[in-house]
Chains A and B, each alone.
Chain A
Amino acid sequence: MFTYSFLQHYWWFLISLLGALLVFLMFVQGANSLIFQLGKTPDERRMVVNSTGRKWEITFTTLVTFGGAFFASFPLFYSTSFGGAYWLWMIILFSFVLQAVSYEFQNKLGNFLGVKTFQWLLLINGILGPLLLGGAVATFFNGSNFVVDKNNIVGGMNPVISTWANGSHGLDALLDVWNLYLGLAVVFLARALGSFYIMNNVADQVIRTRAREKMLINVAGFLVLFLIFLGRTLWKDGFAYDPVTGIISMEPMKYLRNLLDMWYLAAVLLIGVVLLLYAVIRTAMDKLYMKGIWPAGIGVVLVVLVLFLIAGWNNTAYYPSNVDIQSSLTIANSCSSEFTLRTMSVVSLFIPFVLAYIVYVWHAMDREKITKEEITEDDIY
C-alpha cells in the first residue's frame, strides 16, 4: 500500500495542508494590514496588536515548517524556486523579519524608532506577505520561467542545475496579471479573516463594529477576484505529465478535469465555500454572532487545500516552467527518495499531537478576550 507513488501523494497532501493552514493563519497579516482602520486611537491599536500578537508565532512557525517540509519532501522545488525566484522570496522574507520584531519592540521603553514605525512595519508585512505568497501560489497554475538540467553539475561549465531564465529572479511573476489576481485575492481574504478574528478575540464594541464592516468589504473583494481566478484556471489549459514516461504536455481544461476526476475534492471545495459563505452571512445578519472565524477559517483551509491538490495530484505538474516545459516539476520528478519520504512519514505522525496541543493552548488562552483593561497590565505587547 505504501508505495513510492503513495508517499509522493501523501507528502503533497501534507504540503497542501500546511499551505492551507498558512493561508488561514495569515489572518494575523490581514488584521495587521487593517491596524489603522480598526484602531483609531493608540489604545485601540494596542488591543489589535495584542490580539494578533498572541498568534503571530504560530503563523510564522507554519511558514518555517512549510519551507522545511517542502525542502525535505520536494528538494528540487526548494532549490529551483528559492534559488531562482530569489527576489520574490527575499521580499517575502524581509517583510516577515520586520514583522517578527515589531510586536516585541513597539511598546517597550527604549524603542527609539517609535511605536508607529513598528505598526507601519506590521502593515507592510500585512499586505506584502499575503500578496506575494498568493502570487507565488498562482505560479503553480500559470508557470514560471526556469530551466532545470541535472547534467550541469558535471557539464563542465556552469554547475548550477536550476537557473532562472531572466534577470528578474522571480519578480516577473508579478507581471502576469493572473498571479496578481490571486495575490490580491489572498490580501482581501487575509483582511476578511483578520476582521473575523478580531471580532471574536477583542471584546470592544467599537472595534467589533469596524471589523464587521471591513470583513464584508474584503470578502466582497476576495470573492470577485477569486472567482475570476478560479473560473479562468478551470477553463485554461493545464500542465499534465505521463506517469510512465514523465513527459509533460499541455492538456485542455486540466484543472477542471482534475476536479471531475477527483470528485471528492470538488465536494470538499464546495463545503469550504459554503462554510465561508455561512460565516459571512450569519455575521452580517446576526450582530451578536462573533465566532465567524471558525467556519470561515475551516472553509478557507478546505478551499486552499483543494487548490493545492488539483495543482499536484492526478498527474499534474505543480511547478510548471513556461520556458522549457520538460523542466516542469511534478511530485514524481522532484520528490525525495522513497527512503526519505518513508522516514519523514513516520515523523509526520507527530502532526496530530502538535495540532492537538496548539488547539488546547489556543482555547485556554482565548477563554478571556482582549479588553481595554488588559492592555493596561504588564503582560502585554
Chain B
Amino acid sequence: MSNLLLEISAGTVDWSRAQFALTAIYHWLFVPLTLGLAIVMGIAETCYFRTRKRFWKDTARFWQKLFGINFAMGIATGLILEFEFGTNWSNYSFFVGDIFGAPLAIEGIIAFFMEATFVAVMFFGWKKVSPGFHLTSTWLTGVGATISAWWILVANAWMQYPVGQTFNPDTMRFEMTSFADVALSPVAVDKFFHTVISSWIIGAIFVVAVSGWYLLKNREHKLAMESIKIGSAVGLIASVLAAFTGHISGYQVAQVQPMKLAAMEALYNGGNNQGLTLVAWVNPFRQPDYGHEAEAPAKIALPYGLSILATNTMDGYVPGINDMIKGYTKNDGTREPSLTEKIEKGKLAIAALQQYRSGQKDKKTLQTIQDNMKYFGYGYVKSADQIVPFVPVSFWAFRLMVGLGMLFILFFAVMLFFVYKKDLMKYRWLLITGIVLLPLSYVASESGWLVAEFGRQPWTIQDLLPTWVGVSNISAGSIALTFFIFLVLFTTMLAVEINILCKAIKKGPEHSENLNANE
C-alpha cells in the first residue's frame, strides 16, 4: 500500500486558492451586470426599432453606456481566470485538460468572438450601420456573453460532477469519451440556467435602483418609469425562475455532492424526515466540532424541508457530515463506503498505477486501477477534516443567497404593482429600497459562488483530484506576490469604474431632441 509523502507546501495550495478565488470573485462582480443589462438594453433598443421613437434610442444608449463601463473589467478579469488554470493549477490542467480544455476553446471560438465583434458595432455603429443591423448586434453581444457563460459553466459543472470520461494509464490522465455527456450533463444545464437567470436579477435591480435614484432626484421621469417597468418585469421573472432552478440545483447537489449539502445545512448527523434549517447558531468564524455535536444550537427548521429538497420525498434519508465519514446506506439501498474505505481504495488505485507505470501492465493491475479509480483522489487524503468544507461559509452563504432571493421576488412583485397601479413618486421608501437592494444583490450573487465553490472543497475534481495535487510547482511567495498585485490592481480599477459609473449616472442620458438629429 502506498503512503505518500507529499512535498507540496500548504502555502502554495492556500495562495493558489486565494488567488483563484480573488480573480473569480472580482470577475463575478462584473459578469452578472453584463448579462443582466444585455437583456434590458436589448428590450429598450427593440422598442426603438419597432416605434422609432427617439426616447427609446436614448434609453437604450444610456444603458449601453453603463454596460460598456462595466464590460471592460469583466473581460480583463476573465482573461486572468482562463490562464490561471495553467499558471496556478498546472497539474489539474494536465490531468483533465483533455476534457476541460474543450469548453474553454469552444467558448473562445463560438461565443467570445461574437461578443467582442458585435460589441464594437453596438458602441460605435449607430451612424455606421442600419438600425436593424445595430439591433441585431446589440442582441448578439448579449447572446455571445450568454453562450460564453454556457461553456464556462459546462466546464465548472464538470469539475463538480465529472462525467463522460475514462482514465488512461498510458497517458496518465482522464480522457473524454462522450462530448454530449460533458456538454449536456444535468448539472451543467441547471447551473447554466440558475447562474444566468440570477445574473438577470442583478441587471434588473441595477436598472430599478438607478431609475429610482432619478425619481428621488425628480429628473428623467420617463426613462426612469419605463426602465423600472422593464427592470421589474425581468427581475420578477428571473427571481422566480432562479428559485425554481435553485431548487433543482439543491436536489442535484444532494445526489452528486452530499458533503456540500451537509455543509450548507450544518448537518452533522443525518437521518430520515430531515427539516430544512431556517436559522441556527453556527459560529461564522470557526469550523464546528461536528464530530461531537448532535446539531447546531438554536436551530429552527422547516419540517421535512431538507428531505423534500434532497430526495423529493418527506421521509427521505439525508446523510450528515459524520455519516459520510462513517459510511451510510443510500435511499436506493446501496451502501456508500466510509472515508477509511475510500482512502484505502484510492491508495489501491495509486499503487496499481505505480506498478503499471513501472512496466507491470497485466490484467490484474489494470483491473485494480479500473475498480478503484473512482476514489483516486481519496488516496491523497490523510484525515477526515481534509474532506469537510468550511461549514460556516457554506451555511451562511446559502442562507444569504436564498433569503435575499426571496426578498427580491417580493420586491419586484411590489414594484411592478406600484409602477403600474400607483403614483410611484409618492412611495419614496420603495425607491430607496431598490437602491439598498443593489449591493445586496451582489451579496446574494457572490454568496451563490461561495456555496458552489467553498462547498466542494477540497476537490478540484469531485473525488478525483484534491487541491493539493492539482497545483503548480510555484513557491508560495511568488503566488502571494501576484495575489497582492492583482488585489491592488483590481481594487484600483474597481474604484475607477464605480466612480465613472456614478458620474455617468449623475450626468444622465443624452436627450435627442437637443441634438440636430434627422431621424
* Chain A residues near B (Cβ < 8 Å): 54-55, 57-58, 60-61, 63-65, 67-69, 71-73, 75-76, 78-84, 86-87, 89-90, 93-94, 96-98, 100-101, 103-105, 108-113, 150-151, 153-164, 167, 169, 336-337, 339-340, 343-344, 347-348, 350-351, 354, 357-358, 361, 364-365, 367-368, 378-380
Given the complex of chains A and B, what is the CA–CA distance between A354 and B126 in angstroms? 22
Contact (Cβ within 8 A) B91 A160? yes
| A154-B120 in contact given A343-B179, A365-B128 (Cβ < 8 Å) | no
Contact (Cβ within 8 A) A109 B93? no
Q: Among B6, B115, B485, B507, which residue has its beta carbon within 8 angstroms of that of A109?
A: B507
Contact (Cβ within 8 A) A71 B105? yes
Q: A54 → chain B, closest Cβ, in Å?
A: 5
| A90-B87 in contact given A75-B94, A111-B496 (Cβ < 8 Å) | yes
Q: Among B108, B124, B133, B176, which residue has its beta carbon within 8 angstroms of that of A65?
A: B108
B72 lies within 8 A of chain A by Cβ:
yes
Q: B105 → chain A, closest Cβ, in Å?
A: 4
| A94-B489 in contact given A100-B76, A169-B478, A365-B125 (Cβ < 8 Å) | yes
| A86-B87 in contact given A61-B112, A69-B109 (Cβ < 8 Å) | yes
* Chain B residues near A (Cβ < 8 Å): 2-8, 68-69, 71-73, 75-80, 82-83, 85-95, 97-102, 104-110, 112-121, 123-129, 133, 137, 168, 171-173, 175-177, 179, 350-351, 353-354, 357, 380, 469, 471-475, 478, 482, 485, 489, 492-493, 496-497, 499-504, 507, 510
Contact (Cβ within 8 A) A164 B497? no
Q: A45 → chain B, closest Cβ, in Å?
A: 18
Contact (Cβ within 8 A) B79 A60? yes
Q: Among B114, B115, B354, B471, which residue has its beta carbon within 8 angstroms of that of A154?
A: B354
| A83-B474 in contact given A65-B108, A71-B85, A160-B91 (Cβ < 8 Å) | yes
Contact (Cβ within 8 A) B102 A340? yes
Q: Among B126, B353, B473, B501, which residue has its beta carbon within 8 angstroms of that of A158?
A: B473
Contact (Cβ within 8 A) A347 B109? yes
Contact (Cβ within 8 A) A79 B176? no
Q: Among B93, B351, B499, which residue has its beta carbon within 8 angstroms of that of A75?
A: B93
Contact (Cβ within 8 A) B172 A61? no
Apart from A57-B120, A71-B104, A89-B87, 17 more pairs, CB < 8 Å: A60-B116, A68-B107, A71-B101, A82-B83, A100-B76, A104-B72, A109-B504, A150-B172, A160-B91, A160-B473, A164-B473, A336-B97, A350-B110, A357-B117, A364-B129, A364-B133, A379-B127
Q: Can you name 26 A-B residue pairings with CB atoms under 8 Å?
A: A57-B117, A61-B108, A63-B79, A64-B108, A68-B109, A71-B93, A72-B97, A72-B105, A75-B101, A79-B91, A79-B93, A79-B94, A83-B88, A101-B497, A104-B68, A150-B171, A158-B473, A160-B471, A160-B472, A160-B473, A161-B172, A339-B176, A340-B99, A367-B128, A368-B128, A378-B510
With a CB–CB cut-off of 8 A, which chain B residues contact A72?
97, 101-102, 104-106
Given the complex of chains A and B, what is the CA–CA distance between A336 and B168 in angstroms? 12
Q: B198 → chain A, closest Cβ, in Å?
A: 24
| A154-B117 in contact given A71-B101, A89-B83, A336-B101 (Cβ < 8 Å) | no
Contact (Cβ within 8 A) A365 B121? yes
Given the complex of chains A and B, what is the CA–CA distance between A54 and B98 in angstroms? 35
With a CB–CB cut-off of 8 A, which chain A residues contact B502?
110
Given the complex of chains A and B, what is the CA–CA distance between A160 and B119 in angstroms? 40
For the complex of A and B, the 3 pairs showing the least CB-CB separation, nearest first, are: A83-B90, A75-B97, A82-B86
With a CB–CB cut-off of 8 A, which chain B residues contact A365?
120-121, 124-125, 128-129
Given the complex of chains A and B, what is the CA–CA distance between A68 and B474 in angstroms? 22
Contact (Cβ within 8 A) B104 A79? no
In the complex formed, the residue of B with least CB distance to A63 is B79
In the complex formed, the residue of A with least CB distance to B102 is A72
| A337-B6 in contact given A101-B493, A164-B473, A169-B474 (Cβ < 8 Å) | no
In the complex formed, the residue of B with least CB distance to A69 is B105
Given the complex of chains A and B, what is the CA–CA distance between A59 and B105 in angstroms? 16
Contact (Cβ within 8 A) A158 B7? yes
Contact (Cβ within 8 A) B500 A111? yes
Given the complex of chains A and B, what is the CA–CA distance between A57 and B123 in angstroms? 12
Contact (Cβ within 8 A) A156 B124? no
Q: Which of B89, B472, B493, B499 has most A Cβ within 10 Å?
A: B472
Q: Among B76, B471, B472, which residue has its beta carbon within 8 angstroms of that of A97?
A: B76
Contact (Cβ within 8 A) A93 B101? no
Contact (Cβ within 8 A) B94 A76? yes
Q: A61 → chain B, closest Cβ, in Å?
A: 4
With a CB–CB cut-off of 8 A, which chain A residues contact B3?
156
Contact (Cβ within 8 A) B79 A83? no
Contact (Cβ within 8 A) A83 B473? yes
With a CB–CB cut-off of 8 A, which chain B residues contact A354?
109-110, 113-114
Contact (Cβ within 8 A) A82 B93? yes
Given the complex of chains A and B, what is the CA–CA distance between A76 and B93 in angstroms? 8
With a CB–CB cut-off of 8 A, which chain B residues contact A101?
72-73, 76, 493, 496-497
Q: Among A55, A60, A83, A157, which residue has its beta carbon within 8 angstroms of that of B75?
A: A60
With a CB–CB cut-off of 8 A, which chain B residues contact A368?
128
Q: A257 → chain B, closest Cβ, in Å?
A: 30
Contact (Cβ within 8 A) A379 B126? yes
Contact (Cβ within 8 A) B350 A64? no
With a CB–CB cut-off of 8 A, which chain B residues contact A57?
75, 116-117, 119-120
With a CB–CB cut-off of 8 A, which chain A residues contact B473?
83-84, 158, 160, 162-164
In the complex formed, the residue of A with least CB distance to B95 is A153
